[in-house]
Amino acid sequence: MKIQEIEMIPVRIPFKKLFRTSHSARTHQESVIVKVHTDERIVGIGNVDPSPGYSAESVSEIKKVLENHLIRVVVGRDPFTISMIVDSMDKAISGYYHSKALIEMALYDIVGKALYVPIYTLFGGPRIDKIPVIGWIMIGSVEENVEEAKDWVSQGFTTLKVKIGKGIQEDIDRVAAIRAALGDKIDIRIDANEAYSPEEAISLLTGLEKYRIAYCEQPIARSNLDGFYKIREAVDIPITSDEGILTPQDIINVVNKRATDFIRVKVMKNGGIYKTMSMINLAEAFGIRCIIGHGFGLTINALSEIHVATASKNIFYPSDMVGPLKMKDDVVTERLQIKDGCIAIPQKAGLGATIDDEKLNQYKIKI
C-alpha cells in the first residue's frame, strides 16, 4: 500500500454559545481536516483543533507546514511504516506537533481500516469499555455558572471543570457558589490557563482549599517551573501541568523540579497518537498520572484521544475529550455520543468516524 495524496481542508464551525477562558473569548472553532488517500482506496482521516492563546500553531501555520515540509516526505510511503514516517517528519522540521499529529492520526486510521480493527487494538486492546468525561464550565457570572453546573449534573456528569482567571475573589465566589449549590456529590477541578502569578495563585488556592478541589490546572505561566514548585509547597490542592508539556523532556523537567502532581496530554499537542502513548508511559515510570483530552474541537480529534485512553493504564479519570459537545455542528456522519457522563469506546475500524462531505464543504474556509 502507498500513500498517493494528502488533502487538507480548513474549516470554521460555530460554537453553541460564546466561550471564555483566560486565554480568549471565542464564538467558533477553526480546525484542519486531512484525508490521506492510498492506492488501495483506503482513505485515512485526521483532525486538529488549534486554540488561540493555547496552541503554538494556527490553522494557517499548519497549512504552510504541511505544504512546505511534511506532505513531500509522506506521499509515496507505506502507511504501515508510521514510526519511520514520523521520523521523516521530525527531520523535515522541528516542533509543529499539531501538524504532525494531523497526518499521523490519519495513518493510524488507514492501518486500522486495513486490518478491520479499532486503533486501540494496535496498542494491546481495550482496558476499559467506556470513558468517563467531565462537564466544562467557562468563565461567566456566578448565576450562569451555577445553572451550568446543575445542568451538567442532571445529565449524569459527576466531575466538573471550572475555568478560572477572572480575578482571585471572583474565582473563589464562583467555585464556592457551585459547591454550595451541588454539595459534595460532585468533584470540582479548576483550570486557570496561566492567568496568575505564583503569589496570586497561592492566595487563590488558599482561599479555595475548603471547597474540596480535585486539582488546579496550569495556575501560572507554562515556563515558570520554580513557581509551580513554590505553589505545591504552599498549598494542599494538587497541581496539573498542561500548556508546558509538549515532549518527553518536558515531563522530565517538571519531575526534576517537583513542579506537578498530574500531567495533561493531548494527541494534537504532543505530536500524535504514538508519542502521546509514550509520554503517558514515561509519566507512569515517574509515578505521575495523566489526564487526557482537549476541550475545544471536533469528533475526529476527540476519537484519537479516546483510543489512547482506551489502551492506556496510566489515565486519571474522568477525561476531557468533550470538545464536540460545545459545537453547533461537526464534519462526521455520526457525532460523538456521551451518555450519563461517559463515552462508549469505538467499535468500528480505524478511528471509527466517517467524513460527511456535505458538511465538510459547508464549513470549508480559505486560508
List the chain pLDDT tens, one digit each, 367 residues: 999 999 999 999 999 988 877 777 889 999 999 999 999 999 999 999 998 878 889 999 999 999 999 999 999 999 999 999 999 999 999 999 999 999 999 999 999 999 999 999 999 999 999 999 999 999 999 999 999 999 999 999 999 999 999 999 999 999 999 999 999 989 999 999 999 999 999 999 999 999 999 999 999 999 999 999 999 999 999 999 999 999 999 999 999 999 999 999 999 999 999 999 999 999 999 999 999 998 889 999 999 999 999 999 999 999 999 999 999 999 999 998 899 999 999 999 999 999 999 999 999 999 8
Q: Provide the pLDDT for residue 35.
A: 98
> Helix, strand or coil for residue 211?
helix
* The pLDDT value given to residue 52: 82
Q: Which three cell numbers stand for residue 202?
A: 497561592
SS3 content of the chain, % helix, strand, coil (to 5): 40, 25, 35
Helix axes 248-256, 225-234, angle to 10 degrees: 50
Provide the 3-class DSSP secondary structure of residue 297: coil
Grid cell digits, residue 126: 481495550
The residue to which cell 465538510 is assigned:
360
- The H or E element that residue 239 is part of is strand 239-241
How do the domains of the chain map onto residue ranges?
Answer: 3-117+356-363, 122-344
Dist CA 343 CA 319 (whole Å): 10
Residues 6+ apart with CB under 8 A from 111: 79, 80, 82, 119, 122, 350
Q: Fill in the amino acid letter for 178.
A: I
Say if domain 3-117+356-363 classifies as CATH 3.40.309.10: no
Instruction: Give the pLDDT confidence score for residue 367 in this predicted structure.
Output: 86
- Torsion angles phi and psi, residue 29, rounded to 5: -115, 125
pTM reported for the whole predicted model? 0.96
**Overall fold of domain 122-344:** TIM Barrel (3.20.20)
pLDDT at res. 53: 79
Query: With b meaning 16 or more CB within 10 Å and e meaning fewer, what string describes 142-154?
Result: eeebbebbeebbe
